[in-house]
Copies of this chain bind each other. A is one copy, B any other.
Amino acid sequence: MEPRIGDVQGNIEKSIAKIEEAAGVQGARLIVLPELTNSGYVFKSREEAFACAEVVGSGPASIAWMKLCRDYNCWIVAGMAEREGDRLFNAAVCFGPNGHVGTFRKIHLWNQENLFFEPGNLGFPVWHTPLGRLACCICYDLWFPESLRIAALQGADIVCIPTNWVPIPGQDPNRETMANILCMAAAHSNSVFIAAADRVGTERGQPFIGQSLIVSYTGWPIGGPASFDQEEIVYADLNLADARRKRNWNEYNQPLRDRRHDVYDKMLGSQSPPGWH
């Protein structure tokens, strides 16, 4: 969808219409909305971002989305400008029929987000639901293979990615977007499903690229990519259990168990190299 900067009430109303279409008409059980659905993205100041943000569970978007989950017996993972005291987070919140399931806060902040938000402080949680195990990351988090890996190692069946993808310099205009390729590679190498919901439209001069997609545990898209400039709901029928069932690639290999801790140790944690030029 296309949120509008600062129009919290309008954004919530639009999200309600989309969810009613997906869950009420089409029977979707798990719904993913874009990053910062309630607020829009291109803030001019921290004060503007703060004014759009809400407290999880008691803010207007939370209340609207929790009601929809109850009404339609579905789960929603939605990007949200979140406020906790005076701190702001670029969050993704999971709601279900019984209310708030969990919160993820974007770990890797992109560009001027660093001026408005705190870096995520909740790790990569995995939420247990009747549908299966859900995890989450937001936009630039996908550029870090660590994000999906950590989610998969904790047992995630699907990683939901609210996102606001922006054009990448060097993108081959005749090819699918690199963001989609990152989703495919991560789904395949971790044997997890991915559902990435992007926004469309241009906000204060910043274009977004749409192309939301749902990727199977094999790495191949099974829904989308959606339009690059029009609002569109992408659907897929899938069996989350396949992420676990199909992870034994042969008699000897299961990709999550074949990891070489002995080699990675000190190379990927706090003692890792500084990331040279």
Identify the A interface with B (CB < 8 A).
107-112, 114, 119-120, 123-124, 140, 143-146, 149-150, 152-155, 169-170, 172, 175, 178, 181-182, 184-186, 188-189, 216, 218-220, 244-245, 247, 250-270, 272-277
Cβ A111 vs Cβ B256 within 8 A: no
Cβ A268 vs Cβ B146 within 8 A: yes
Given the interface pairs A153-B275, A267-B150, the reply to whether A172 lies near B220 with Cβ below 8 Å is yes
Cβ A144 vs Cβ B189 within 8 A: yes
Given the interface pairs A111-B250, A188-B182, the reply to whether A261 lies near B255 with Cβ below 8 Å is no
Cβ A257 vs Cβ B269 within 8 A: no
The majority secondary structure among interface residues of chain A is: loop
Query: What copy number does this chain have within its complex?
Result: 2
Q: A41: shortest Cβ distance to chain B, in Å?
A: 15
Cβ B264 vs Cβ A268 within 8 A: yes
Cβ A276 vs Cβ B188 within 8 A: no
Cβ A276 vs Cβ B112 within 8 A: no
**Nearest residue, chain B, Cβ from A150:** B267
A251 interface neighbour in B111, B145, B274, Cβ under 8 Å: B111
